[in-house]
């Protein structure tokens, strides 16, 4: 059962089966994607040109975790169709621009052998 937190911030637990023994122990595992250093590293690796899957593999986190942190860092949010449909046609402006250069995050290839 839960028994507070240790000085390092990890959850402390108390033995439930043997309440008389009074043993306590710490949580021995934690998902590395929750650590602030890993979150910062994922943003820095993106700025250095690493792909989403590459970052996930190196930091041992899921690609969705990397994407979530990148969206937070960039301040991006998805626009849902219900929001767009709720606006009048005068409130929506569409700008079409010619792009001089683009960057590809992931590249796929097929090797026959």
Q: What is the DSSP string of 15-42?
A: -SS-TTT--EEE-----GGGSHHHHHHH
Quote the Cα angle for 66-68-74, to 5°.
Answer: 100
For the chain, the domain total comes to 2
| pLDDT for 62 | 92
* pLDDT confidence band for 80 (50 / 70 / 90): low
Look at residue 99 and tell me if it is in a domain: no
Look at residue 7 and tell me if it is in a domain: yes
Look at residue 10 and tell me if it is in a domain: yes
Tokens of 106: 């992931």
Residue numbers of the domain that contains 14: 1-30
| pLDDT for 47 | 83
**Residue 37 and residue 70 in one domain:** yes
**Residue 35 and residue 66 in one domain:** yes
């Amino acid at each position: 059962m839960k028994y507070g937190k240790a000085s390092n911030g990890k959850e402390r637990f108390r033995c439930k089966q043997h309440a008389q023994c009074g043993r306590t122990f710490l949580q021995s595992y934690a998902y590395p994607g929750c650590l602030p250093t890993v979150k910062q590293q994922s943003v820095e690796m993106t700025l250095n040109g690493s792909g989403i899957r590459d970052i996930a593999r190196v930091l041992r986190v899921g690609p969705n975790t990397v994407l979530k942190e990148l969206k937070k860092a960039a301040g991006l949010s998805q626009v849902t169709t219900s929001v767009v449909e709720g606006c009048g046609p005068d409130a929506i402006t569409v700008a079409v621009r010619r792009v001089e250069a683009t960057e590809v995050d992931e590249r796929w290839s097929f090797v026959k052998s």
